[in-house]
């Protein structure tokens, strides 16, 4: 079970260029791991652009932003280019990391049940421990909440 104060589950996923990225690559840095449902949808685009626009603030506190969704490497590449996203997007098409972090859940829309990503952000400290979990994220104002949290760790 994912919990604050526990070690973050390790993983290796391909980024938007197909290069393998591991959580251990970022030891010594704060990591903002944000899980989102789908490239090029309104909420996900807004969230990505909010992180993009606030990235200088994350850089000042030596924090790395990583987006994770079940979209393909190719989809991530196009999404990143279209919105000029200056951070890596990780592809979890097999949903292994999504399940490890407990964000692959049954959802419901208009009475129809389906499996999908519950928008979640996990803040990981320099030692690889989970400092904060934001579940069922509402996009508006979320990036500011994350920045404030990072300043406190």
Active site residues: 44
Could you write out the three-class secondary structure of the chain?
A: CCCCCCECCCCEEEECCCCEEEHHHHCCCEEEEEECCCCCCHHHHHHHHHHHHHHHHHHHCCEEEEEEECCCHHHHHHHHHHHCCCCEEEECCCCHHHHHCCCEEEEEECCEEEEEECCEEEEECCCCEEEEEECCCCCCCHHHHHHHHHHCC
């Amino acid at each position: 079970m994912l919990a604050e104060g526990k070690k973050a589950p390790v993983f290796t996923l391909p980024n938007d260029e197909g290069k393998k990225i591991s959580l251990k690559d970022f030891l010594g840095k704060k990591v903002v791991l944000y899980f989102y449902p789908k490239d090029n949808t309104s909420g996900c685009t807004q969230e990505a652009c909010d992180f993009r626009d606030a990235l200088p603030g994350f850089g000042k506190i030596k924090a790395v932003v990583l987006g994770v969704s079940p979209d393909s490497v190719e989809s991530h590449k196009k999404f990143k280019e279209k919105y000029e996203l200056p951070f890596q997007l990780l592809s979890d098409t097999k949903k292994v990391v999504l399940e490890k972090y407990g964000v692959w859940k049954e959802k419901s829309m208009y009475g129809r049940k389906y499996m999908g990503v519950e928008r979640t952000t996990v803040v990981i400290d320099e030692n690889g421990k989970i400092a904060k979990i934001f579940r069922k994220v509402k996009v508006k104002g979320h990036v500011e909440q994350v920045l404030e949290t990072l300043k406190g760790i």
